[in-house]
Amino acid sequence: MGNRMTVNFGYDKVTEAIIYCHWGTSEAELKDFFKEVEKQTSDTRFDDPSYLAAKFVVWKSQQLNNGNPLDFVSLGVCQESPGDVIKTYHVDCGNGRNHPIIT
């Protein structure tokens, strides 16, 4: 059984994008993701929940695939949070171009 969690991207706990991770993630991993976004692009979109969530899916899927970019499971985009998650992280993108706040 996985460590089912969601990462909710939005503003002030108002969710605009939900990413489901069957094998979990951590606050440290989210911070690593923010650093990689800064490293790999000049347009971080830290202040845009939907763009940042899309970047997270691409980044996380690279850890889960078997060498083929589309060969991954355990990661998805949801319209609402599944009822069986054990942890939810909220990524508040209202912090301007600085790193979002994780709660």
Where exactly are the structural domains of the chain?
A: 5-102
1 has a pLDDT exceeding 60: no
Report helix, strand or coil for 77: strand
Q: What is the pLDDT of residues 51-96, one digit of tens each?
A: 999 999 999 998 888 888 888 888 999 999 888 899 999 999 997 6
- pLDDT number for residue 30: 95
Strands of the chain, DSSP E: 5-11, 14-21, 75-78, 87-92, 101-102
Per-residue pLDDT band at 97 (split at 50, 70, 90): low
